[in-house]
Structures are given as C-alpha cells and as structure tokens.
Structure 1
Amino acid sequence: MRTIVALCSILAFSGCAIIIAPDGNDARFESSWSSNAIKGNGDLQLDKRQVNGASALNVSGPMQVEVRVGGTAGLEISGDSNLLNLVQTQMNGDTQKIWIDEKFNSSNPIRVVYTVPALTEVTSNGSGRMMISGLNGGNLAVKNYGSRSINLDGRVMRLEVVNSGSGSINALGLMSNDARVNVQGSGSLSLGAVNGNELSVSVNGSGSVNASGSVRNLVANTHGSGSAQLSSVKSLSADLSSYGSGSVYAAVSQNVNAQSNGSGSVTVYGNPAQRNVNGRRVNFVN
C-alpha cells in the first residue's frame, strides 16, 4: 500500500492517476487531466447482448474476460452503467469482436462473459485477465499481444500460441496432443501435459516457457536471454538450440541435435545414443 501511495504522489505531478479495481486485480494508468476520459458513475449494471456463438474471439482493451466453452451462445457485460456503451461488439466474418476505444476511469471493473459452444481461436490486445474454461477437444489458436494474463483449462487436440509482449499464459490446466508455441518479449507461458507427436517451442527475448508431458519429437530454440524449461517433457528425439544467453532444458531418450551459440546453454537429460552436438555449452545429464 505504501508503494502505491508513493507512486501516486509521484505521478500526480505528471498528470497521471492509478485506477485500482475493488478486487485488486486490475490497475490502470489514466491521464487525470485528459478532457475525454469518462468517469464511471459507480452504478453496477449487467448488459446482455445477442451473439451468434462465433468460435473465434477477438478482444481489445482493458477488461476482465471469461470465456465458457460448451454452453448456449451468450454475452454478458457488467460494469459502471454509464460505461457499458463504451464496450463495442461486432461480428466480423466468423469472429466475435469485443473492444473499447475510449479512455475511462471506472469504479467497477468492466467484466465480459462470453459463452460459446466451441472455441477455435482467441486474439487478445491490451490488459486485464482472461479465463477460458471447458475446452473440449478441438484445435485452439491463442494470440496474446500486450500485458493480459490468460488462463486455459480443458483439453485440445492441437494448441498454437503466440505470446508477444509482457503478458502471460497459464495453461497448466490444459491437456493437448500437440503444441506449437512462440513467446516474443518478456512474457511467460506455462503448458500443461502435452502427450502426442510433437511439441515445438520458440522463445525470442527474455521470456520463458515450461511444459510437461511425453512426445515423439521436440523442437526448442531460444534467441536472447529467455529460457525453455522442458525437462519434464519426455521425448524420443529432439532438435535443440540456444542463440544468445538463453537456456534450453530437455529430456531425450534416443537422438538429439543440440547447438549453443553464445553464452547460453543446452542441457539434455537422458542418454540418447545418437548425438549431433555443436558448441561448448551443450551438457548431458544422465
């Protein structure tokens, strides 16, 4: 609390304010001198809107989002009554778009609950939290740009993820058969059990990825200072590389291609018979 008070005092001189939601989960910086920032009236209200149940969702702006997969299509938005009309919704092809363009200071955080029979794609821009539950076996693509934190729960056949920026994705409660993930920037990604044919991981920047499970083929590379902690993924074969100061950890049982370029390292757990190694910072741990 002292940190927040001190920071508020400093920012007061620059015309900024910190807006903290009542539950303490959302904090936003708004310009207190901005003539077009709309102030919430504190009157909590629920708005129900008609939707077609599109399987692709695009969310942009500072809001808390809950996606419930498996039910009858519906959209509920709650927040200060005079701010609800700032939340725009539109069908764009097969994608349901939900966004906020205006600057605002809210007394109650804006919350969105989107219920859909099936979910195949999610794109997020902005801040806040997103919780996705009930995923039921199809393919899923997630693109997270900005600082939003996303939680995934359920099971999918194939998972594709791009996490760009400082945001985080927690998928420890998600099971998948195959996964291809890319972390760009300083964000983090935690995968649940990947049990199937392939796991492909790419980290660019200072971000991190960790996962568990068992796959036939593992591909992992880092560019920068990031890390790929994959020693809890059992793989038959792997292609591993570190460029820069980052690190890769993997468990391999049969054959591995491993290279380190720079001050980073590749650590292989297991005793694969076939080894193709390039670089002095490739280590094997039996």
Structure 2
Amino acid sequence: MIKQLVSVCLALSAVVTFSSCEHHRGSGHIVTENHSITEFTRLSVGGQFDVEYTQAPAGNLEISGDDNLMKYVEISNDGGELSIKMRKGGWFDIHKNFTIKVSSAQLEEMNLAGSGHMRFMNDFKGDHRLKTAIAGAGSISGKIDVPEFDAEIAGAGTYNIAGQTRKASISVMGSGDFNGYDLLTEDTQANIAGSGNVHVTASRTLRADIAGSGDVRYKGSPEVSSSIGGSGSVRKG
C-alpha cells in the first residue's frame, strides 16, 4: 500500500515540476458543493484536501473550496473505494486546502497522499483491521477502537492517534512522526527507516526495528525486543 502511495505522491510532485503544466490559481471565493455517495470501506485522497470523516451512514459528501477550481476535483466511488483527487496535468495554486466532509458506516482503509489532513470527527469503532497510510507531509488524527491498526508514513507525515487496539503495526520511512501515547495497545511492532519518531503505549510486547537515527519511545511495561542499525534508540518515555 505504501509503495502505491509513494507513486501517487511522486506523481503529484511531478505535476508541479514540469513547466508545461497549466497553472490554475484559486480565486479566493470559497463555495460549497454537495455530492450524493453510496457506502464505501476504503478512502483514498491525493492533493490539498482536509478531510473530516464521521462514522455514520453514507449519503452525502460536502466539499468547500475555490469556486474556479471545483471543476478540477475528481470524485469517484467504485468497488467500495471513495477516491478524491485533483485532475492530472495542472498546477493548482489554491487559496486554502479544500475541505471535505464525508461519512461511512465502516472503514477498512484510509490513504492520504500530499499535504492534506484527515481527521476522525467521532470515536471510530470497528471489528476489523484498520489500515492507514500517509505519503508526503499530511496528517491523520483521531480516536479509534479496533482489534488491529496499521499506520504507515513515507515522508514527513504525522499521526496523532488515541483510543485502543490489541495489535498495532507502525512503519515510518523518512522523517515522519507517530504520536500514539494515547493509543493503548497490547502488542506493537514499530519499524523506522530514517529519522522518524514513534511514541507508543504497549502492555504486553514491543518489537522495534530501526535503521538510521529514528527513535522509539514507549509507555507501559511491555517485553521489549529491538534491532538497531545506526544511531537510533528505544527507551521508555
């Protein structure tokens, strides 16, 4: 999943790089549009979008942003995946990030590419594994209650997560930060490649693998095992 997100992020960067791309400047006049949607379990967002996700029956997607750039936003819901992104082939100088308000009864996967933000607006509860990923400098935040939780960062992204899960898998490639002291876990696996930081709470086991100068800080009294290549460290926070 993270490889796909990296590809998306690189593609977004390439759009800005090539001078042949059309330049679209936001008007600064913010408008709101509504779209009817059906239920989805996967949410993928690429670009400058701030997403407010609420766990509730799906039905409406609300988007706010520059009026002259609305036509370049592509929204699709196919096979249970809701995708929100900017049309390819343009360089968008927006007044501020688009704001998306959306809901679904359940969510299994959440992917963010670019500099946007995703926030759980209410306490998310599920009986399945929740997979999330950030590629770029975006952020994901909120409170969850799921049996298993995966969080991946490629770049300088940030997580601020609270709640509880039995098993957590955290992966950071780059300089990202996972702030999860308020996420109560039983077993946690933390992998860092680079200078990232992972803060977790575990009650039973913690496995940390570090390549680089990254640091893992933990709370609780888990059985700790680690493998460190570089100047990274694992210690109680």
1:98 equivalenced with 2:88 (yes/no): no
User: For the residues of structure 1 that align with 2:227 and 2:190, how far apart are their CA atoms?
Assistant: 11
Q: Out of 151, 164, 172, which is 2:154 matched to? A: 164
The change in CA–CA distance for 1:148 and 1:108 in structure 2 (over 3 A counts) is closer
Contact kept, 8 Å, 1:221 with 1:248, in 2: the verdict is no
Counterpart of 1:80 in structure 2: which amino acid?
D
SS in 2 for 1:234: coil
Q: Out of 38, 46, 68, which is 1:60 matched to? A: 46
Bigger radius of gyration, 1 or 2?
1
Q: Identity over aligned residues, as a percent?
A: 26
Matches within 5 A, 1:69-80: 69-80=55-66
Counterpart of 2:42 in structure 1: which amino acid?
A
User: For the residues of structure 2 that align with 1:35 and 1:144, how far apart are their CA atoms?
Assistant: 25
Shift of 1:95: 1.1
CA RMSD of aligned residues (A): 2.0
Counterpart of 1:151 in structure 2: which amino acid?
S
**Structure 2 residue aligned with 1:208:** 197
**Structure 1 residue aligned with 2:101:** 113
Higher alpha-carbon deviation: 132-141 or 51-60: 132-141
Higher alpha-carbon deviation: 102-111 or 218-227: 102-111
Shift of 1:238: 2.8
1:180 equivalenced with 2:166 (yes/no): no
Counterpart of 2:125 in structure 1: which amino acid?
N
Structure 1 runs of 4+ aligned residues shifted over 3 Å read none
Task: Determine which structure has the larger helix proportion and give its number.
Answer: 2
SS in 1 for 2:48: coil
1:127 equivalenced with 2:122 (yes/no): no
Shift of 1:34: 7.2
1:143 equivalenced with 2:129 (yes/no): no
**Structure 2 residue aligned with 1:275:** none
SS in 1 for 2:68: coil
**Structure 2 residue aligned with 1:152:** 142
Residues 211-266 of structure 1: per-residue CA shift (max 9 Å, x gap)? 12412x22112110000111x1321x332221111001159xxxxxxxxxxxxxxx
If the length of structure 1 is used for normalisation, what is the TM-score?
A: 0.70
SS in 1 for 2:71: helix
Unaligned ranges ≥5, structure 1: 1-29, 252-286
1:86 equivalenced with 2:72 (yes/no): yes
Which one scores higher on RCO, CA 8 angstroms, separation ≥ 6? 2
Shift of 1:71: 3.9
**Structure 1 residue aligned with 2:12:** none
If the length of structure 2 is used for normalisation, what is the TM-score?
A: 0.84
Counterpart of 2:198 in structure 1: which amino acid?
V
User: For the residues of structure 2 that align with 1:207 and 1:147, how far apart are their CA atoms?
Assistant: 13
Matched residues, number: 216
Shift of 1:108: 4.3
**Structure 2 residue aligned with 1:234:** 221
Unaligned ranges ≥5, structure 2: 1-15
Shift of 1:152: 2.4
